[in-house]
Amino acid sequence: MPYSVDYFNRRVLDEIESWPVGVLADYARLIELLMEFGPNLRMPHSRAMGGGLFELRIRGREGISRAMYCYVAGRRVVVLHAFVKKTQATQERDVAIARKRMKEVHDG
């Protein structure tokens, strides 16, 4: 049974939909893999960030983006935060936003 994907809020989906077409195409491919393989999706597609937070590693000819997500009961994935990468390392600010939202998702 595949995993379902939800978004923390409409702004997260709006951010993803604003990405360039090549990046968006890779995101669509990786979301399909995530829905099929769930927690078994690993590097180079997905990376564990610790504490139940994961990042989907998206790249297209126009650049690199990330979508931070977590798993919740019932084979659900929630995309918490998405952004275009501008530096080599993922910014701590982006990780903090995703962790705060993950806490909200898990605490109800």
Q: What is the CATH number of the domain that holds 87?
A: 3.30.2310.20
56-103 pLDDT, tens per residue? 999 999 999 999 999 999 899 999 999 999 888 889 999 999 999 999
Q: Domain of residue 99: give its range.
A: 4-107
Neighbours of 4 (CB within 10 A): 12
Q: At 42, phi and psi to the nearest 5?
A: -125, -170
Instruction: Judge whether residue 1 has pLDDT over 90.
Output: no
Domain tally, the chain: 1
* Distance separating alpha carbons of residues 5 and 29, to the nearest angstrom: 13
In sequence order, which residues have a C-beta less than 8 Å from that of residue 66 and are 6 or more positions away?
Answer: 55, 56, 57, 58, 82, 83, 85, 90, 94
Instruction: Give the amino acid at 105.
Output: V
The mean of the pLDDT values for the chain is 96
Please tell me the total number of residues recorded for the chain in this structure: 108
Is the pTM of the predicted complex or chain greater than 0.85? Answer: yes
